[in-house]
Structure 1
Amino acid sequence: MASGYGLSGGPSRCFPFWQELLACYVVNTNTDDVSGAKKCVPALEDYYECLHHRKEKARAIELQRAYRRAEAAHPRENAPRPGAIRNLGLLDREEDTEDVLGTNRSITAGNGK
Structure 2
Amino acid sequence: MDTESLFFIVSRDAFLVQLSLRIETTAPLISIFLSSFRSGSYICGAAMSGMGAQGGVSRCYHSFMDYLKCLDESKGVTTQQKNAECAEWLEDYNECLHHGKAHMRQFLMEREAKRQEQAKAESG
TM-score (norm 1): 0.59
Structure-2 separation of matches of 1:76 and 1:33: 59
Deviation at 1:24, TM superposition (A): 0.2
Which residue identity does 1:70 align to in structure 2? Q
How far, CA to CA, are the matches of 1:29 and 1:19 in structure 2? Answer: 18
Structure-2 residue corresponding to 1:15: 61
CA RMSD, Structure 1 to Structure 2 (Å): 2.5
Shift of 1:36: 2.9
Select the residue among 89, 92, 108 that pairs with 1:62: 108
The structure that is helix-richer by fraction is: 2
Q: 1:29 to 1:73 in 2, by over 3 A?
A: same
CA pair 37-77 structure 1, distance change in 2 beyond 3 A = closer
Letter of the structure 1 residue corresponding to residue 74 of structure 2: N
**Aligned residues: percent identity?**
35
Distance 2:122 2:83 in 1: 54
Per-residue deviation, 1:33: 3.3
* Distance in 2 of aligned mates of 1:11 and 1:62: 32
Larger CA deviation: 69-78 vs 11-20: 69-78
Which structure 1 residue ranges, 5 or more long, are not aligned?
79-113
| 3-state SS in 1 of match to 2:110 | helix
Q: TM-score, normalised by structure 2?
A: 0.54
Q: After the TM superposition, list the runs of 4 or more consecutive aligned residues in structure 1 that deviate by more than 2 angstroms.
A: 1-4, 75-78
Cα distance in 2 for partners of 1:54, 1:44 equals 13
Task: State whether structure 2 residue 52 is matched by structure 1 residue 6.
Answer: yes
**Equivalent in the alignment of 1:33:** 78
